[in-house]
């Protein structure tokens, strides 16, 4: 099992939450607003502390991993991606030990190579979402977490991102996404897990 969460407790938001994602699988985590979907994803990458339960990555408790190692192994894309000042290339190579293959990173996100020199803070919401996915993929994670990846995107762009997510899963990546959009859940995910 690539990712397993058992009996997660975070304050009053999560009480006994569970999640399992295998390599090559897309799992849609669904629940009403405020039920803790985003909190669960943030807990996986230790952006919020657990009050109980355990998160395992390939059987290893993530609490025992150095946060930098964890975030290399698990890519996280927030609902509202944050672009760092500078170019798209700067955003894709930030904090990497070795320069990323920009062409491959851009291609992985379905972006043209001409995007490398564009100001990342001036991209459209959809372009920023794709750059955030590309940035998460530059570290070649084992698991990719996507928090509401189509929030605020038009249908054609959402469909393009959906195709890309399916391609990533077919290449062996374990993916968990949150969504309120039934078309995303039924069109992208191998299975739905209610929180």
pLDDT, tens digit, 9 for 90 and up, residues 43-65: 999 999 999 999 999 999 999 99
What is the Cα–Cα distance from 172 to 145, expressed in whole angstroms? 14
The tokens describing 32, both together, are 């009403």
The tokens describing 107, both together, are 């291609």
CB 176, CB 3: distance < 8 Å: yes
What domains, with CATH codes, occur in the chain? 3-194 (3.40.50.300)
CB 178, CB 37: distance < 8 Å: yes
Give the pLDDT of residue 161. Answer: 83
Q: Where are the beta strands (DSSP E) in 22-173?
A: 26-30, 52-57, 60-61, 74-77, 143-147
pLDDT, tens digit (0-9, with 9 covering 90-100), for 117-169 = 999 999 988 888 888 888 888 888 999 999 998 887 778 878 888 888 999 99
Q: Going by C-beta distance under 8 Å and a sequence separation of 6 or more, which residues neighbour residue 107? A: 113
The total of other beta-carbon atoms located within 10 Å of residue 121's CB is 13
Quick check: 100 pLDDT over 80? Answer: no
């Amino acid at each position: 099992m690539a990712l397993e969460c058992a009996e997660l407790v975070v304050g009053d938001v999560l009480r006994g939450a569970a999640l399992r994602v295998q390599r090559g699988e897309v799992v849609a985590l669904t629940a009403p607003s405020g039920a803790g979907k985003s909190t669960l994803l943030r807990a996986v990458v230790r952006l919020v502390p657990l009050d109980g339960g355990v998160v395992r990555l390939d059987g290893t408790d993530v609490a025992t991993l150095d946060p930098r190692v964890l975030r290399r192994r698990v890519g996280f894309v927030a609902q509202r991606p944050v672009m760092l000042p500078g170019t798209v290339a700067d955003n894709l190579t930030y904090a990497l030990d070795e320069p990323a293959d920009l062409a491959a990173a851009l291609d992985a996100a379905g972006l043209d190579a001409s995007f490398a020199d564009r100001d990342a803070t001036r991209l459209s919401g959809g372009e920023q979402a794709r750059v955030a996915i590309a940035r998460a993929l530059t570290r070649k994670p084992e698991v990719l977490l996507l928090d509401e990846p189509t929030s605020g995107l038009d249908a054609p762009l959402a469909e393009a991102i959906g195709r890309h997510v399916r391609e990533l899963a077919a290449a062996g990546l374990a993916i968990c996404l949150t969504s309120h959009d039934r078309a995303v859940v039924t069109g992208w995910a191998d299975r739905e897990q209610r929180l």
